[in-house]
Amino acid sequence: MMNAKSPNHLPAQRIDKWLWYARIFKSRSLAAKFVETGKIRVKSGGQRAKLQKAAQPVRVGDILTFPHGNRIRVFEVKAPGKRRGPAIEAQELYNDLSPPMPTKEEIKISDTAPSRPRGEGRPTKRDRRALDKLQGDDLQDTDE
C-alpha cells in the first residue's frame, strides 16, 4: 500500500503555471523566463534545489524562495491551481512567508550621505574634492 503523503504522490503542477495561477507574474511566459534564469529555489521534502526549467513540478508543501522586485519572496504551496481566477482565489494557493516590508523609517537615507541643494549646478573641483574627502576616497593614498 502506498503512502499518500509521500512527496511523489501529491498533486504536482508546472512551476510556471503555478506562478501564473497564483498571480505572482502577469503572464505565463514571464513566469517561464524567470524560472529559466535560475533565481528560484524550492525546498521540497527537506531537499533544496534551484529550478531552471519551467516544466519542473511543484507540489503541496513545497517552499519557493525568489527575488521579486526589490524584496525576497517566500511562498509555501498550499494547493495546485486550476485556473487563473480572481486575486482572492489566487491567495488560497499559497501561504506568504516573506519577511515584512521595511517601514519608511528603516529605509531612510543615511545622514552621512553628501548632498547639495537642488539646482546649484555641477560641483566644482573644490566641491568634488570635499565630497571625496567626506566619502573617504583619498586618491593620494593609492600611489603605493
Q: Is the pLDDT of residue 103 over 80?
A: no
pLDDT tens, residue by residue, 60-74: 999 999 998 888 999
Q: Is the pLDDT of residue 138 over 70?
A: no
Examine residue 134 and state whether it is found in any structural domain, yes or no: no
We report the CATH number of the domain holding residue 51 as 3.10.290.10
Cell of 134: 567626506
Examine residue 130 and state whether it is found in any structural domain, yes or no: no
Domain count, the chain: 1
Examine residue 67 and state whether it is found in any structural domain, yes or no: yes
Examine residue 2 and state whether it is found in any structural domain, yes or no: no
Q: Is the pLDDT of residue 1 over 50?
A: no
Examine residue 108 and state whether it is found in any structural domain, yes or no: no
Examine residue 90 and state whether it is found in any structural domain, yes or no: yes
Cell of 18: 503555478
Examine residue 49 and state whether it is found in any structural domain, yes or no: yes
Examine residue 69 and state whether it is found in any structural domain, yes or no: yes
Q: Is the pLDDT of residue 3 over 50?
A: no
Rounded mean pLDDT, 123-144:
75
Least confident of 23-37, 44-58, 80-94, 116-130: 116-130
pTM for this entry: 0.66
Q: Each residue of 36-51: b (16+ CB within 10 Å) or e?
A: eeeebebebeeeeeeb
Can you give the residue range of the structural domain that contains 85? 7-103
